[in-house]
Amino acid sequence: MSIHKKSKFEVNIMKQAGNIVALVHANMKEAVKEGITTKELDELAYKIIKENRADPTFLGYHGFPATICASVNEQVVHGFPSENVVLKQGDIISIDVGATYKGFVGDSAWTYPVGEISEDKKRLLKATQEALFAGLEHMKSNDRLENVAGAIEDVAKANNLGIVRQYGGHGVGRQMHEDPFVYNYRTNNPLVLERGMVIAIEPMLNLGCDDVEVLDDGWCVVTKDKKASAHFEHTVHVTDDGPEILTKLL
């Protein structure tokens, strides 16, 4: 495993990339409503990223055809935006987006309600967001990646939610996916966190079982029991004083 620790200069560029991603999410929060298509959301994200002199990281990545991953209800990750997918009252949508600015990547996902949603879905969104921040608390020098994973697992179990086990967080830098991989449950990972590591923490939790499968398009991941899934992600810099979230508005 080769983990590239970032210099102060590199982290400052990554803050700019993260700010652009945060701008996209600020706009998504306003735009997500009944009647909009996921294709329209994708076009809005592309426009914002380009206006800020960055490139959509996902577009063309291993052939991915869009700027955002738009995953609705039981879709966990990697959903294709489409003019045929119209959001309706009661849906939830996970929007994952990356921006590459001056050679460095910002990567963040958030799950949004469409109008009024069920109590179960509210519980899912609240707990998954809590799991993200519980994990983030351990993103400091000399803590362990295992404690990040364990904190996420504990929130999931306390709320009786399924944990997506095949996908997880990852290092971020010049590439969207760098070492280390971050499981959202304990695996006896011995890695000790060090100042300068930049890692995306991204719990994906389900209302039902852990099990997921990939659709015929080769990308979109759905829960096997077709129950809803939520996804929250921030790109985070490890410091001696604790986590520094890079995917937020400056």
**116-167: pLDDT as tens digits:** 999 999 999 999 999 999 999 999 999 999 999 999 999 999 999 999 999 9
* Whole-number Å distance between alpha carbons of 92 and 179: 30
Nearest Cα residue to 96 out of 106, 107, 85: 107
pTM given for the model: 0.97
Spell out the domains of the chain, with CATH numbers in brackets: 8-245 (3.90.230.10)
pLDDT per residue over 62-79, tens digit each?
999 999 999 999 999 999
| CA end-to-end span of the chain | 32
Answer whether 81's CB lies under 8 Å from 75's CB: no
Task: Identify the bridge partners of residue 92 per DSSP, sorted by sequence position.
Answer: 113
Question: What is the DSSP code string of 60-100?
Answer: TGGG--SSEEEEETTEEE-PPP-TT-B--TT-EEEEEEEEE
Answer whether 97's CB lies under 8 Å from 25's CB: yes
pLDDT of 2 higher than 90: no
